[in-house]
Chains A and B, each alone.
Chain A
Amino acid sequence: MSLQSLFKMGSLFRSEEMCLAQLYLQSEAAFACVSELGELGLAQFRDLNPDVNAFQRKFVNEVRRCDDMERKLRFLEKEVKKDNLAIDDTGENPPAPLPREMIDMENKFDKLETEMKSVNSNQEALKKNFLELTELKHILRKTQQFFEQCLQIILTKYKKNNNQVYFPIIYNYNLQWLSNIVHFFYYRFVAGVLMRDKISAFERVIWRACRGNVFLRYTEIEAELEDPHTGDKVNKYVFIVFFQGDQLKSRIKKICTGFRATLYPCPETPQERREIALGVMTRIEDLQTVLNQTADHRRMVLSQVALNIRVWLIKVRKIKAIYHTLNLFNVNIEKCLIAECWCPVVDIDRIQLALRRGTELSGSSVPSIMQQMQTKENPPTYNQTDKFTSGFQAIIDAFGVSNYREVNPAPFTIITFPFLFAVMFGDMGHGLLMFLFALYLVLKENRYMKHKPEDEIFKMMFDGRYLILLMGLFSIYTGFLYNECFSRSINIFGTSWNFLMEFRCVMTLDPNKPGVFRGYPYFYGIDPIWQSAENKITVQNSYKMKNAVLMGFAQMIFGLSLAFCNRRHFKDKLTLYCELLPQLLFLCALIGYLCMCILYKWSTAPSLLIGLIDMYMLTDPKSNNRVPLYTGQYQVQIFLVIVTVLCVPWMFLSKPYILYKRSKQKKGHTRFMFFHTKFVKHIKLLIIMLISQFDMSEVIIYQAIHTIEFCLSCISHTASYLRLWALSLAHSELSEVLWSMVMHTGLATSGTSGAILSFFVFWFFSSLTVSILLVMEGLSAFLHAIRLHWVEFQSKFYKGEGYIFSPFSFTLIVEGKV
């Protein structure tokens, strides 16, 4: 990347400078120009006809034609997917075709659609035929089986009652004989097929409607049949109904149509049935060949479609997007379209170049003109991001899109977010696992970019892969500081305590006992000896708690200094001196002093809490026989309390007052000129401002709310940072519990059984580590880190009331993101 383009990239610190531009496009060049701008993706067009209905706009017919093309393509795509053909994806990005090519495309799609439809209807008719024949085949087979079974039953019965002659004795029993009997008693039958889910209702209705004068038998067709219309597999039953008389016959037929059963003629004699069955078989075979040929033809047409459909879809979408954009333009002047768009100031040259290209492409002789406009409207916020920063920017945007040119917290978040997360999640082992997971995603990102992950949760993790990567990295770092790896400490540099001196059942480390502490601290992080100390939690708590307050103060002060940048940038001196300055003083006097005491206290050790209470009770530490932190503490504290108290009216009153005075001066009121001293005059004016009903009341209420909010939040936000300590404690305790309750039991057992036990216990331990410690604890630390940024940090300077820049861009449209 050249240096020039690096500068062009702009910085994340503030959003890009935007300008409102007016474009004058020749009617014949407009399409090509918009097409070029769409490829560029840097202009956000404004709707110049907000009062015109969608269907009354100029290019509505073209949009409609595109809709129709899209519909045809969707139809073709559906057919391709039905045949399980792979859609060719070469990653090619075709330019938007010119309007005159649209007709060709329409014709092409129309032809394909008609062809496809005729193939489909052909196939459906053939399949229907095929289905009927198959059903007939099954009917013949099943009725044959049924009659044979009946014959068997009659024969056995006949053999039993040998002595009683019911039937003429015929030795050569055959089916002919049976059908003769059936015929003899005037039993008729109909046979047909029916959907499986309807059979029981059918049976009941037929029984009731014929008052029990019928004989119904049914059996399932084992093979699944294909519904010719939908192509679904269906299960059907063959049934046969015996009845007497024509009245019943018409009734049964009506019921059959009612249940959408298909009836087939079934001959009564076995010979006829056999003959028909043979005929059916040959016809089925013939039909199968025809069906195969139709399927081949269909496949051939579709494979052509599958090859091109992606490119076609992109082309159509682009045309449609262009016409939608053209519909936003002002078309009232002949031969010229007027457009208004927001665009980044740095990219104006590129836009102009694109316009020139578009004009040349369309062959128009008159150039398109771009001209900047003055406006009082708020421009959109445009932060250029890349794959690394986009995740962090997303966290900020989720809270609120920053105001135009306001300081963007995203670049700072890149460091502070993973750091605060890691403070709560400090563990080398867990951090390493998280780091490796994110590293995998980062290394495989090309593959995943190409084939977008479908799973929403995975997609979220993939989008935040660099965030997770940094979170893991920082967790390893804080894990080193806490000296924890899966809750175990590692003794790298050798402990600086003589633990043998203290090694008893209860081990409390007390540096005041002689000989226990070697006199020099552990080289890096926390001494591993604390792992086994009884007073480990007490010591770590106080350490982490103080750390949390210090980090909180640092971040809040940083937030205020960003607010300073904002005020400087917007040249808002009034807010700077009347709001920001007292805020800064208030925070420093209140919390800053506390932090100073904390740092100081690490060398000496009187109770801080009592010290602070004394400070605000205005009591001299000496009077209560307490040892002061330093000489002159009382005087310093009195001074700080006075500063704090003074800051409140400063914050509250000064800004509204100055605004009020300015508005009075504008109106030219000179009523107060007769006051003698300046001071009295100001006080009078202030009181009048407070008690009278006038247009400043809103300003005052706003200021009052902000003052109260800031003063209270100084305390509550500092307290809120204690979550850093609380979550960190919870995490280390939880992992310790998991180790001692699960892994330790496995390792403590000796012998072969111990080895086997460890094997299973490890499985249990690792799955719990991932699911609870990594995922659940990770999510909770993540949430708290988000909160610390959104509320505690950003409330100091961030408005977040802007709206995001959404340019007209083909890449977004083709991907379906708009």
Chain B
Amino acid sequence: NKVSSFKIKLENGGFLEGLVRGFKNGISKEDYRHLTQCDTLEDLKLHLQGTGYGHFLANEPSPLTVSVIDEKLREKLVIEFEYIRNHAYKDLATFLDFIKYSYMIDNIILLITGTLHQRQLSELLPKCHPLGIFDQMETVTIASTTADLYNAILVDSPLAPFFKECISEEDLNEMNIEIIRNTLYKAYLEAFYDWCQQKGGATADVMCEILAFEADRRSIIITINSFGTELTKEDRAKLYPRRGKLYPDGLLELSKADEYEAVKRVSELYAEYKPLFDGTGNNPGDKTLEDKFFEHEVTLNVNSFMQQFQYGVFYSYVKLKEQECRNIIWIAECIAQRHRAKIDSYIPIM
């Protein structure tokens, strides 16, 4: 029986899981230390050749720029991800699509905001994340209301189910777009969470933990960012994803908050989030809350690799790689701008 269940698991993405575990190994702690010692981007390139990233910059002429490195890093991730996606089927394919949806949301919002600011499409497109590109994406610029957006364009895109709650006849404006983004994200997180829950097993164990954190992080950040804006508390409460550990009591409390301290008070009631708020502040040497959140996310994602035969590794792989790319870019930026004081504030991946 054990053998047969093993076999089923193996058929269901075992090969891909092995692949992902191989892809995961990028840069070690030692490598980070060496990277921060680089004097120029050429040095960085030379050192990256010795890591898991290999020769991804080999065909780039000198002088290198940070944007080229960024582009190539992203390209590498996309190629790996698409390879996995093309070999996945059934549940794993759905799961991987879920990962892509978040990028689609970001892309749509980016395009709408850009159009609102009279930017050209050709200028916006390179900024879109390649993982979130879909057929109808580029036509979102024709929409002037959300109803328009839904009826004309998104109705047969994969994002349609998440759009139910944001349809209105109001014209698109900055405020609106932020609300759409958060509502979409909320619907997406809830759908993703429910899917993982229904899938059950180790996938549910791992993913629900990560997604719950993601939901709570969004709630907290939405609250903090809403201070001093026109957003009413009722509207704000509607944007909270209702799947995290804060749900329901914490969210209720959070919806009443109107200053940072209040948010902190609410969050400190939860054992997981208390340490994140401790020691944050704006003083030099302190870490920002955002960085603390990132660190916690990294821990969760690294833990997901501790379990086998579950889809969490795919999600964690994408997130960790993104973090790693962010780190490299951070270091590269520091080197390029000769601003070495903060070069060490990347988020190490254990």
Interface residues of A (CB under 8 A from B): 53-56, 60, 63-64, 67-68, 70-71, 74-75, 198, 201, 204-205, 208-209, 251, 254-255, 257-260
Asked if residues A71 and B139 are in contact (CB atoms below 8 Å), the reply is no
Chain B residues within an 8 Å CB radius of A255: 139, 142
Complex alpha-carbon distance, A208 and B154, angstroms: 11
6 sampled A-B residue pairs with Cβ under 8 A? A53-B34, A54-B50, A68-B62, A70-B58, A208-B153, A258-B121
Interface residues of B (CB under 8 A from A): 34, 37-39, 42-43, 46-47, 49-50, 58-62, 121, 135-142, 148, 151-153, 155-156
Given contacts A60-B46, A71-B59, A198-B135, is CB(A254)–CB(B141) below 8 Å? yes
Chain A residues within an 8 Å CB radius of B46: 54-55, 60, 63-64
Asked if residues B47 and A258 are in contact (CB atoms below 8 Å), the reply is no
Given contacts A53-B37, A53-B47, A209-B153, is CB(A68)–CB(B139) below 8 Å? no
Complex alpha-carbon distance, A258 and B124, angstroms: 12
Chain B residues within an 8 Å CB radius of A205: 136, 139, 152-153
Given contacts A53-B37, A71-B59, A205-B153, is CB(A259)–CB(B138) below 8 Å? yes
Q: What is the interface of chain B mostly: helix, strand, loop, or mixed? A: helix
8 Å CB contact of B139 from A54, A63, A64, A258: A258
CB distance from A445 to the nearest CB of B (A): 34
Given contacts A198-B135, A205-B153, is CB(A75)–CB(B43) below 8 Å? no
Asked if residues A209 and B139 are in contact (CB atoms below 8 Å), the reply is yes
Given contacts A53-B37, A201-B135, is CB(A257)–CB(B121) below 8 Å? yes
Asked if residues B142 and A254 are in contact (CB atoms below 8 Å), the reply is yes
Asked if residues B42 and A71 are in contact (CB atoms below 8 Å), the reply is no
Complex alpha-carbon distance, A188 and B42, angstroms: 57
Complex alpha-carbon distance, A6 and B53, angstroms: 47
Chain B residues within an 8 Å CB radius of A257: 121, 138
Chain A residues within an 8 Å CB radius of B155: 208
CB distance from A200 to the nearest CB of B (A): 9
CB distance from A220 to the nearest CB of B (A): 19
Complex alpha-carbon distance, A67 and B152, angstroms: 51
Given contacts A55-B38, A60-B46, A255-B142, is CB(A71)–CB(B58) below 8 Å? yes
8 Å CB contact of A201 from B42, B136, B142: B136
Given contacts A71-B58, A257-B121, is CB(A209)–CB(B47) below 8 Å? no
Chain B residues within an 8 Å CB radius of A208: 151-153, 155
Given contacts A53-B47, A204-B156, A205-B152, is CB(A258)–CB(B59) below 8 Å? no
Chain A residues within an 8 Å CB radius of B61: 68, 71
Asked if residues A74 and B153 are in contact (CB atoms below 8 Å), the reply is no
Complex alpha-carbon distance, A259 and B138, angstroms: 7
Given contacts A53-B37, A71-B61, A205-B152, is CB(A260)–CB(B138) below 8 Å? yes
Complex alpha-carbon distance, A205 and B152, angstroms: 6
16 additional A-B residue pairs with CB within 8 Å, beyond A55-B38, A198-B135, A205-B139:
A55-B46, A60-B46, A67-B58, A68-B61, A71-B60, A74-B59, A201-B136, A201-B156, A205-B136, A205-B152, A208-B151, A208-B152, A209-B152, A209-B153, A255-B139, A260-B138
Interface pairs A-B: 4 shortest CB-CB: A258-B139, A55-B43, A209-B152, A258-B138
CB distance from A208 to the nearest CB of B (A): 5
Complex alpha-carbon distance, A204 and B155, angstroms: 10
Smallest Cβ-Cβ distance to B150: which chain A residue: A208
Asked if residues B47 and A54 are in contact (CB atoms below 8 Å), the reply is yes
Asked if residues B142 and A209 are in contact (CB atoms below 8 Å), the reply is yes
Smallest Cβ-Cβ distance to A253: which chain B residue: B142
Chain A residues within an 8 Å CB radius of B38: 55
Asked if residues B142 and A258 are in contact (CB atoms below 8 Å), the reply is yes
Complex alpha-carbon distance, A790 and B49, angstroms: 38
CB distance from A140 to the nearest CB of B (A): 27
CB distance from A114 to the nearest CB of B (A): 11
Complex alpha-carbon distance, A260 and B138, angstroms: 9
CB distance from A656 to the nearest CB of B (A): 41
Given contacts A55-B38, A64-B42, A71-B61, is CB(A254)–CB(B139) below 8 Å? yes
CB distance from B318 to the nearest CB of A (A): 26
Complex alpha-carbon distance, A260 and B125, angstroms: 12
Chain B residues within an 8 Å CB radius of A53: 34, 37, 47
Q: Among the interface residues A68, A71, A205, A258, which one has the most CB atoms of the partner chain B within 10 A? A: A258
Asked if residues B62 and A259 are in contact (CB atoms below 8 Å), the reply is no
Smallest Cβ-Cβ distance to B155: which chain A residue: A208
Complex alpha-carbon distance, A60 and B138, angstroms: 45
Chain A residues within an 8 Å CB radius of B39: 55
Asked if residues A251 and B142 are in contact (CB atoms below 8 Å), the reply is yes
Chain B residues within an 8 Å CB radius of A56: 37
Q: Among the interface residues A55, A251, A255, which one has the most CB atoms of the partner chain B within 10 A? A: A55
CB distance from A770 to the nearest CB of B (A): 31
Chain A residues within an 8 Å CB radius of B62: 64, 68
Complex alpha-carbon distance, A254 and B136, angstroms: 12
Complex alpha-carbon distance, A401 and B137, angstroms: 58
Complex alpha-carbon distance, A60 and B50, angstroms: 14
8 Å CB contact of A75 from B59, B148, B156: B59
Smallest Cβ-Cβ distance to A254: which chain B residue: B142
Asked if residues B139 and A259 are in contact (CB atoms below 8 Å), the reply is yes
Complex alpha-carbon distance, A205 and B142, angstroms: 11
Complex alpha-carbon distance, A74 and B55, angstroms: 13
Smallest Cβ-Cβ distance to A65: which chain B residue: B62
Smallest Cβ-Cβ distance to A63: which chain B residue: B46
Complex alpha-carbon distance, A55 and B136, angstroms: 46
Complex alpha-carbon distance, A254 and B152, angstroms: 13
CB distance from B163 to the nearest CB of A (A): 14
Complex alpha-carbon distance, A656 and B38, angstroms: 54
Chain B residues within an 8 Å CB radius of A63: 46
Complex alpha-carbon distance, A334 and B155, angstroms: 74
Chain A residues within an 8 Å CB radius of B43: 55
Chain B residues within an 8 Å CB radius of A70: 58
Complex alpha-carbon distance, A489 and B79, angstroms: 61
Chain B residues within an 8 Å CB radius of A209: 139, 142, 148, 152-153
CB distance from A67 to the nearest CB of B (A): 7
Q: Among the interface residues A53, A70, A198, which one has the most CB atoms of the partner chain B within 10 A? A: A53
CB distance from A818 to the nearest CB of B (A): 15
Complex alpha-carbon distance, A204 and B60, angstroms: 41
CB distance from A50 to the nearest CB of B (A): 13
CB distance from A247 to the nearest CB of B (A): 11
Complex alpha-carbon distance, A259 and B155, angstroms: 17
